[in-house]
Structure 1
């Protein structure tokens, strides 16, 4: 985006913003890409399994409508190619497995969208392959069927995301939370998350007044690291930070 377009400036785009898990970093681990999460400093996360297998709910693809589309669908990647000759697809995930991309491995059903076309398919088998995820979906029996799915964006229902540790958070769950400092001063609300290559950053927006006296939207960028982020209370929809309004 530019100030708002992450893909050009290193900020997470709409698809990325929702998936990532975050935790106030400080552990020296690399930042989470896509379906990202953040965790508190000093905590190591066990490696996520690289493969998931579930029983297919249906033998083929299922056409979906706006009404049947899950309300908690979160974009997690896009089908970029066929994989092999037996109908497998290759997905460019918005996060690596173990850092949010494992939502692709855990889900029993993928929801696919391309333009106005919507469909879903049961996941027969999904596994990591290099920096991508490959999967066998119900209804894709050969390479031609898999190639026909290129360009479809892949969504997963939020309730199928893998559970996190108590101090880990998916980006999608931080959006909209109110940010206050330790003095109780309201700094704004989380509008998006940014991955700057070292850690996640809260993009906090707040109402203010421009030089012309007209109302405008201000922005604060607060590193999501333990030294600044003191607590995240999802139930109260609030993040407490060590940050002043004039920073």
Structure 2
């Protein structure tokens, strides 16, 4: 399953909820009419019948939820869908969740392969996206690294089948 966002708060008195979306553009989360809500270890499938932009965010209405107090129970729930529901990517595209957990390697001056760690997650910074690489068993040290997602500049190869990303990055940085 893939996390697409989170229900953050109630909106109004008729059971609407505020939604924080990880999708790009943010309104794409509204394309999925059935959400799997993960809240405190419990999962529940709900149906969304309406949704729209509201100010700088999104709001949505859950079928059968027509009261603010009922809507409050959904606050804090992560919104998930099965990865099979995601649209197919082009050959040169990859979903962020597919990068998480991949080993990240670079090479030293002697052209030896060096394990820097594993991709924990990605961050959107405005200028460019950033890989957050955390140390793992076998990594060169215990440092967390923030590496810009710059294809053909820093990112040399992504091989999700074999579970690694090769980057051009100084391990001392």
The normalised TM-score by structure 2 is 0.74
8 Å CA contact retained: 1:199, 1:225 = yes
Pairs within 5 Å for 1:39-58: none
8 Å CA contact retained: 2:35, 2:79 = yes
Q: Is the strand fraction higher in 1 or 2?
A: 2
Equivalence for 2:29: 104
| Count of residues paired in the alignment | 166
Higher mean alpha-carbon deviation, 142-151 vs 235-244, is at 142-151
Unpaired runs of 5+ in structure 2? Answer: none
Q: Which has the higher contact order (CA 8 A, sep 6+)?
A: 1
* CA-to-aligned-CA distance 1:145-172 (integer Å, 9 cap, x gap): 5543452313222333344443333322
Give SS of 1:173's match. Answer: helix
Give the direction of change, closer, same or farther, for the CA distance of 1:77–1:111 in structure 2 (3 Å limit): same
The normalised TM-score by structure 1 is 0.55
Unpaired runs of 5+ in structure 1? Answer: 1-71, 210-214
What's the RMSD between the two structures over aligned residues? 3.1
Pairs within 5 Å for 1:185-200: 185-187=113-115, 188-200=117-129
Which of 32, 53, 77 is equivalent to 1:153? Answer: 77
* CA-to-aligned-CA distance 1:188-222 (integer Å, 9 cap, x gap): 2212323334222222233589xxxxx96233322
Runs (4+) off by over 4 Å: none
Equivalence for 1:238: 164
